[in-house]
Amino acid sequence: MADGSAIYGRPMNLRTNPPPIPFIDVAAQRRRLGSAIDDAVITVLNHCQFILGPEVRTFENDLAAFCGARHVVTCASGTDALVLALRAMGVGPGDAVLCPSFTFCATAEVAALVGATPVFVDVDAKTFNIDVKHIAGAVETARQAGLNPKAIIPVDLFGLPADHAAIRTAAAADNLLILDDAAQSFGAKCDNCRLGTFGLCTATSFFPAKPLGCYGDGGAVMTDDDDLADAMRSLRVHGQGSDKYHNARIGLASRLDTIQAAILIEKLKIFPDEIDARNAIARRYNEGLNDVAIVPGMPPGMTSVWAQYTIRVQGGRRDVLAAELKAERIPTAIYYPIPLHRQQAYKQYPVGKGGVAVSDRLADEVISLPMHAYLDTSTQDRIIDATRRVLGK
């Protein structure tokens, strides 16, 4: 079956000009939600409380109930969510913040933005998440550089939680504060608990392409710490104190606008159903591709929200796969082609003891296929068949 001529006993679609497949189909979800979104937006347009209106508090309460966190503080973006958390945690100049090198730049960017120094840690080849075995070495590297190891930002990459139990143990050994970067993974579970309560704070993003996305930028921080929550609510409004003209601290303007909150309230209602659909699609992908590519694994006790479905293609064939799928109007993406330790903006920062060889290797092998909750089975089969046909040659 390696030639891809058929899969699951069905003949391959041989149309010479098939329709393009969206990589992430936000429009399909929009059609499902229909008038619910329109009505939610119109309500905000009628009451005109566009900044921190009542829907913001409602959404924060709904999100807290969904993930089990005591507090949710919404803000203007997932990047701002990380900044607010680090600022509230007291991370700044002279501090080291450990983060994986194989991730989006925002994870390291926020450490630099608060004046701290990111220290890059390698990842596990199977999960793409931070390799716990390298944490102690990164702490040693930070100390040798004269830095105070203050925090660690594990990333739940592509929707899969990191090994939070092991991270908690490793962090405790060196008194590291944990800020979980769940920008791609909100809704996933670790040890039967939804992300949002692992670490001192958890940050997420509502960028439109995320599994739970709004129609613009947005983010949130979850925490069980009352003082941190109060500090972040102040920081997001210019460090506001007792009133808007009393500045208790230096802050920033970072608020989730009310229209986006209203949209997210409606999206959260269907989110569990969409998570189930994503997992069903990922299972079919795995079944159809496991003998022609390295497919993503699922450690025991975890679930993913599959922000991306990412395979590894070895032998230098990734570019061939991308080109041939593009010719068949099947989009792909590479997350991430350059690890952070090699990026122009970050290559001056230290790499933890033990190196980042896995991050370098993954950057040459990973490729992501279309993934969203509205991929029907015929479209899934088209993607699987085409991928098999290329990799089976």
Question: Could you tell me the pLDDT band of residue 96, with boundaries at 50, 70 and 90?
Answer: very high
- Rounded CA-CA distance 339/90 in Å is 27
Whether the per-residue pLDDT at 6 is higher than 60: the answer is no
- The reported pLDDT for the residue numbered 16 is 65
- The reported pLDDT for the residue numbered 5 is 42
- Residue labelled with tokens 């497919």: 295
Return the CATH fold of 32-266. Aspartate Aminotransferase; domain 2 (3.40.640)
Cβ neighbours of 14 (radius 10 Å): 8
The whole-number average pLDDT for the span 167-177 is: 98
- Rounded CA-CA distance 13/302 in Å is 35
Q: Which residues are CB-neighbours of 163 under 8 A, at least 6 positions away?
A: 127, 129, 132, 299
Cite the residue boundaries of each domain of the chain with CATH code 3.40.640.10. Answer: 32-266
- The reported pLDDT for the residue numbered 17 is 81
- Rounded CA-CA distance 156/129 in Å is 6
Question: Could you tell me the pLDDT band of residue 14, with boundaries at 50, 70 and 90?
Answer: very low
- Cα angle 112, 228, 96; round to 5: 30
In DSSP terms, 253 is beta-bridged to 237
The whole-number average pLDDT for the span 90-99 is: 98
Q: What is the mean pLDDT of the chain?
A: 95
- The reported pLDDT for the residue numbered 182 is 98
- Which CATH superfamily includes the segment(s) 6-17+271-391? Aspartate Aminotransferase, domain 1 (3.90.1150.10)
Whether the per-residue pLDDT at 354 is higher than 80: the answer is yes
Q: What is the pLDDT of residues 209-223, one digit of tens each?
A: 999 999 999 999 999
Give the residue among 216, 247, 238 at the shortest CA–CA distance from 84.
Answer: 238
C-alpha dihedral sign at 77, 367, 331, 189? negative
Ranges 79-93, 173-187, 235-249: which has the least confidence: 235-249
Q: Which helix (H) or strand (E) holds 369?
A: strand 366-369
Whether the per-residue pLDDT at 257 is higher than 90: the answer is yes
Q: Which residues are CB-neighbours of 14 under 8 A, at least 6 positions away?
A: none
Whether the per-residue pLDDT at 225 is higher than 90: the answer is yes
Whether the per-residue pLDDT at 9 is higher than 60: the answer is no
Query: Which amino acid type is present at position 18?
Result: P
Whether the per-residue pLDDT at 228 is higher than 80: the answer is yes
Cite the residue boundaries of each domain of the chain with CATH code 3.90.1150.10. Answer: 6-17+271-391
Whether the per-residue pLDDT at 114 is higher than 80: the answer is yes
- The reported pLDDT for the residue numbered 2 is 39
Residue 294 DSSP class: B
- The reported pLDDT for the residue numbered 304 is 98
